[in-house]
């Protein structure tokens, strides 16, 4: 199939390139509008108690949990000054009811919780028109510039303004990351390939996949919510995977030409070997990323949609547009070289061959040392603490973060931070019996250890709300324990109670993640095992790969806990530690890193499998396989780290954690795991590593995805990846 594809593309190369260009233009025109169709966050669990509480409150009460918290401060006046009051009330009275459904302020309610300790600041609570985050954000933008009070410092915070700031900052950071990474990537690619023409092709494929993925996400956004954070994954993953696949295919094409193949023969041979490996790698990575769709969170589902689109489109364009460009260029792929092209005919004793031989000479020592290192790095994960994203993900310069800090530091137990019990009564809340039952329920909640004031803050029809104030951070373990104690209190007779607020959302998030995690793990293990068996023809190597990936992932999570939870390197990376990790991030990183680790696994072991079939010697096969892919894997890892490191320069904590986590995972996987641990384990397994029982062996012989079609007699048994740069290894 892949050989036929190669010959077809060679004959229709101009047509294929023209179609690719049209796809790019149309995708760009349509896909660039995706940002306006995305939702700000997407971390809330749909169908949860906290979501139900929010929906009931939205329908029943004019004043819901606040969408915005607006702080007004004066350096020389207090809230008791009539001028201070008039300035704020004039602003609130001028807000249109087409955007604002309700407001709460100190002077009209007398709530001292709304006044700072020094009485030089107050905050107002606003609710916006709209049934979802996007609609509320649109309402906020209508009045954003009308909130400033003359003579007072005005700060905009709360869920909607902070979400808008986060999305806006992510867009800016993505643009900056792309602006920084593209030139650096191009320079690195020129050095790796040794020429300008060859270096430009993987970047072009990356651009095609990004534009296509944006268009795909916009289509999805027409039918379901898509988180704005999905664009970060699309941009980085589309570029990084395209570079991986481009390195593999271009280097193999140059090697085929060096061995005397030309035209359609060189292209067909490239796709029959490297093309097959790229296909199985892309499918494996996509399968791993699809596992995020198991979770009922817009954020994770969005990452699944965007990630699968980016990987499959990178694979598609690498197998179609890139070969068409190679066929058109032919030997001109080496044009504009930095140095004179040297032979890419494989050498028998390159650096990577000698390294693999050294590792396999002491397999027990190397394996023990590598595993010990990974376990040491993983140890901090045992004390991981989770917390839902809030305004602390923003930099100190952001107004949303400043408002959050002020509410924690300068104000007493406040109306903006409550655990809300939304009560559905068997009869109207205005009847004497139900009023008495509600009052008794509020009294019980106020008496729970850790709870403060508990009062009825809404009653409409058969729905009422009891709001419980408390001290401490909303997304912390103590607040979650308080929520559990509140839930344990007896409900009013015949009533149903749904708890809402930040703490309830945090608790529901952890519970829903825990519920879906086993299904995700079973799916990803079975799917990747099957794909790796079809790639390697072994019953043990897929299991080894899964275990190695889990070790590498554990080490990565341990490093993230040490950095982001404990605060090491916080000043260097430009963030303030929150003392916890947002729980959606490890799930996303697990799927992404697991998939990309299999990317390198397929690259390495497909070459080892080819050499094992030719030589029958497992030790020689590993050494030659590492020699053929060592430079390629290392170069691919280095290049992938460039855009990820640029992402880590973001000002949004979520993006910093994502970038750092991916860089750590890739470095560990490409060095400790792929170059040291895998050769050592394969040496210990010997022939057993490639064993499969008879029925499975026949299954592999018929359906296996091998890099070679079996025609390797005319190829050197030992290879190197000098084809990547055209220089000696």
Q: Give the position of tokens 């929010």.
A: 54
Query: CA 663, CA 659: separation in Å to the nearest integer?
Result: 6
Query: CA 478, CA 401: separation in Å to the nearest integer?
Result: 22
CA within 13 Å, CB half, 93:
7
3 state SS of 380: helix
For 451-474, what is each residue's pLDDT tens digit? Answer: 888 888 888 889 999 989 888 777
Burial of 436 (0-12, 13-18, 19+ CB in 10 A): exposed
Query: CA 451, CA 487: separation in Å to the nearest integer?
Result: 12
Mean of pLDDT values over 40-46: 68
Between 163-177, 452-466, 542-556, the lowest mean confidence (pLDDT) is in 163-177
Between 46-55, 182-191, 288-297, 384-393, the lowest mean confidence (pLDDT) is in 384-393
3 state SS of 30: helix
Q: Cβ distance 551 to 370 under 8 Å?
A: no
For 198-243, what is each residue's pLDDT tens digit? Answer: 888 888 888 899 899 989 999 988 888 888 778 777 887 888 888 8
Q: Give the position of tokens 């050769």.
A: 679
The answer, yes or no, to whether residue 105 has pLDDT greater than 80, is: yes
The per-residue pLDDT of the chain, averaged, comes to: 85
Task: Residue 573: name the closest of 497, 639, 649, 636 by CA.
Answer: 649
DSSP H or E run through 154:
strand 153-157
Query: CA 280, CA 301: separation in Å to the nearest integer?
Result: 23
| Three-state secondary structure readout of 264-323 | HHHHHHHHHHHHHHHHHHHHHHHHHHHHHHHCCEHHHHHHHHHHHHHHHHHHHHHHCHHH
Q: Cβ distance 297 to 509 under 8 Å?
A: yes
Task: Residue 723: name the closest of 711, 14, 715 by CA.
Answer: 715
CA angle 50, 52, 55 (to 5 degrees): 110
Q: What are phi and psi of 123, to 5 degrees?
A: -130, 150
Helices vs strands, H then E, count in the chain? 26, 8
The answer, yes or no, to whether residue 3 has pLDDT greater than 60, is: yes
Cα 575 from chain centre: 18
For 44-63, what is each residue's pLDDT tens digit? Answer: 677 788 888 888 887 887 66
Query: CA 694, CA 339: separation in Å to the nearest integer?
Result: 51
Q: How confident is the model at residue 711 (pLDDT cuts 50, 70, 90)?
A: very low
Instruction: Enter the tokens of residue 105.
Output: 């302020």
C-alpha Rg value of the chain to the nearest Å? 29
Q: How confident is the model at residue 646 (pLDDT cuts 50, 70, 90)?
A: confident
For 591-642, what is each residue's pLDDT tens digit? Answer: 888 888 887 888 888 788 878 888 888 898 899 888 888 888 888 888 888 8
Query: CA 177, CA 171: separation in Å to the nearest integer?
Result: 10
Most confident of 1-5, 156-160, 474-478, 700-704: 156-160
Q: Cβ distance 555 to 307 under 8 Å?
A: no
Q: How confident is the model at residue 518 (pLDDT cuts 50, 70, 90)?
A: very high
Mean of pLDDT values over 271-300: 87
Q: What 8-state DSSP symbol labels residue 347?
A: P
For 58-101, what is each residue's pLDDT tens digit? Answer: 788 766 678 899 999 999 999 999 999 999 999 999 999 899 98
The answer, yes or no, to whether residue 318 has pLDDT greater than 80, is: yes
Q: List b or e across 338-350, with b for residues whose CB sees 16 or more CB atoms inside 10 angstroms.
A: eeebeebebbeeb
What is the model's pTM?
0.80
DSSP string covering 48-109: SHHHHHHHHHHHH-SS-S-SEEEEEE-SS--TTSHHHHHHHHHHHHTS-TTTEEEEE-HHHH
Between 86-90, 195-199, 281-285, 715-719, the lowest mean confidence (pLDDT) is in 715-719
The answer, yes or no, to whether residue 713 has pLDDT greater than 70, is: no
Q: Give the position of tokens 């031989």.
A: 357
Q: What 8-state DSSP symbol labels residue 581?
A: B
| pLDDT recorded at residue 76 | 92
Mean of pLDDT values over 379-408: 85
| pLDDT recorded at residue 717 | 40
3 state SS of 683: helix
| pLDDT recorded at residue 341 | 56
Neighbours of 484 (CB within 10 A): 11
To the nearest 10°, the Cα dihedral for 530, 534, 537, 542?
-40
Query: CA 680, CA 33: separation in Å to the nearest integer?
Result: 50
Query: CA 342, CA 345: separation in Å to the nearest integer?
Result: 9
Q: How confident is the model at residue 339 (pLDDT cuts 50, 70, 90)?
A: low
Query: CA 189, CA 181: separation in Å to the nearest integer?
Result: 12
Length of the chain: 729
| pLDDT recorded at residue 712 | 41
Task: Residue 107: name the closest of 123, 127, 128, 126 by CA.
Answer: 123
Sign of the Cα pseudo-torsion (586, 590, 593, 595, in order): negative
Q: Cβ distance 693 to 539 under 8 Å?
A: yes
DSSP H or E run through 175:
helix 159-193
Mean of pLDDT values over 668-682: 90
Q: Cβ distance 219 to 302 under 8 Å?
A: no
End-to-end Cα separation, the chain, in angstroms: 33
Sign of the Cα pseudo-torsion (237, 240, 244, 246, in order): positive
Return the higher-pLDDT residue of 527 and 391: 527
Spatial neighbors of 363 by CB under 8 A, at least 6 apart, are 679, 680, 681, 683, 684
Return the higher-pLDDT residue of 236 and 23: 23
The answer, yes or no, to whether residue 722 has pLDDT greater than 50, is: no
């Amino acid at each position: 199939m892949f050989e036929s594809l190669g010959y077809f593309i060679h004959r229709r190369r101009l047509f294929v390139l023209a179609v690719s260009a049209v796809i790019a233009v149309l995708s760009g025109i349509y896909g660039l509008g995706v940002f306006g169709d995305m939702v700000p966050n997407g971390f809330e669990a749909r169908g949860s108690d906290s979501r139900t509480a929010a929906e009931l409150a939205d329908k029943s009460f004019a004043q819901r949990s606040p969408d915005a918290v607006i702080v007004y401060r004066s350096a020389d006046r207090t809230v008791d000054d009539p001028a201070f009051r008039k300035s704020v009330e004039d602003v609130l009275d001028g807000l249109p009811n087409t955007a604002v459904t309700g407001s709460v302020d100190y002077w009209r309610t007398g709530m001292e919780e709304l006044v700072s300790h020094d009485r030089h600041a107050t905050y107002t609570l606003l609710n916006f028109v709209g049934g979802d985050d996007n609609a509320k954000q649109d309402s906020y933008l209508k009045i954003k510039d009308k909130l400033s009070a003359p003579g007072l410092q005005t700060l905009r915070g709360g869920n909607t303004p902070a979400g808008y700031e986060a999305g806006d900052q992510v867009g800016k950071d993505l643009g900056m990351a792309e602006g920084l990474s593209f030139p650096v990537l191009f320079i690195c690619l020129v050095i790796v390939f040794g020429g300008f023409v060859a270096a430009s092709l993987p970047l072009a494929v990356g651009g095609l996949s990004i534009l296509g993925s944006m268009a795909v996400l916009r289509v999805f956004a027409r039918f379901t919510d898509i988180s704005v954070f999905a664009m970060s994954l699309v941009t980085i993953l589309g570029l990084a995977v395209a570079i991986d696949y481009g390195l593999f295919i271009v280097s193999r094409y140059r090697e085929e030409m060096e061995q005397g193949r030309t035209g359609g023969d060189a292209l067909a041979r490239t796709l029959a070997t490297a093309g097959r490996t790229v296909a199985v790698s892309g499918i494996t990575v996509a399968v791993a990323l699809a596992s995020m769709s198991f979770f009922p969170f817009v954020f994770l589902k969005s990452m699944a949609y965007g990630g699968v689109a980016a990987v499959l489109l990178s694979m598609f364009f690498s197998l179609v547009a890139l070969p068409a460009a190679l066929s058109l260029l032919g030997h001109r792929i080496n044009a504009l070289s930095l140095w004179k092209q040297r032979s890419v005919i494989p050498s028998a004793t390159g650096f990577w061959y000698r390294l693999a031989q050294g590792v396999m000479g002491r397999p027990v020592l190397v394996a023990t040392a590598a595993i010990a290192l990974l376990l040491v790095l993983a140890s901090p994960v045992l004390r991981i603490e989770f917390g839902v994203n809030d305004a602390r993900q923003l930099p100190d310069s952001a107004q949303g973060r400043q408002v959050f800090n002020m509410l924690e530091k300068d104000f007493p137990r406040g109306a903006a931070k409550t655990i809300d019990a939304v009560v559905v009564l068997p009869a109207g809340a205005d009847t004497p019996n139900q009023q008495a039952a509600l009052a008794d329920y509020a009294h019980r909640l106020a008496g729970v250890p850790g709870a403060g004031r508990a009062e009825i803050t809404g009653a409409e029809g058969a729905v009422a709300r009891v709001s419980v104030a408390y001290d401490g951070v909303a997304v912390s373990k103590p607040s979650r324990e308080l929520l559990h104690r509140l839930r344990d209190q007896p409900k009013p007779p015949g009533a149903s109670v749904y708890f809402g607020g930040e703490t309830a959302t945090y608790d529901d998030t952890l519970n829903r993640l825990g519920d879906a995690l086993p299904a995700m793990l079973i799916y990803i293990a079975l799917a990747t095992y099957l794909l790796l068996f079809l790639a390697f023809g072994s019953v043990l190597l897929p299991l080894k790969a899964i275990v190695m990936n889990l070790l590498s992932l554990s080490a990565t999570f341990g490093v993230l806990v040490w950095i982001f939870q404990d605060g090491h390197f916080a000043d260097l990376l430009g963030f303030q530690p929150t003392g916890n990790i947002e729980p959606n991030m490890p799930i996303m990183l697990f799927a992404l890193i697991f998939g990309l680790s299999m990317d390198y696994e397929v690259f390495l072991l497909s070459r080892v499998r080819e050499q094992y079939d030719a030589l029958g010697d497992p030790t020689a096969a590993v050494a030659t396989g590492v020699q053929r892919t060592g430079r390629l894997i290392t170069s691919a890892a280095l290049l992938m780290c460039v855009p990820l490191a640029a992402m880590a320069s973001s000002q949004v904590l979520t993006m910093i954690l994502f970038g750092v986590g991916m860089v750590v995972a890739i470095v560990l996987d490409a060095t400790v795991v792929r170059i040291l641990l895998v050769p050592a384990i394969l040496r210990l397994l010997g022939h057993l590593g490639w064993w499969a029982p008879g029925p499975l062996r026949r299954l592999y012989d018929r359906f296996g995805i091998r890099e070679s079609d079996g025609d390797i007699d005319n190829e050197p048994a030992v290879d190197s990846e000098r084809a990547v740069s055209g220089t000696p290894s």
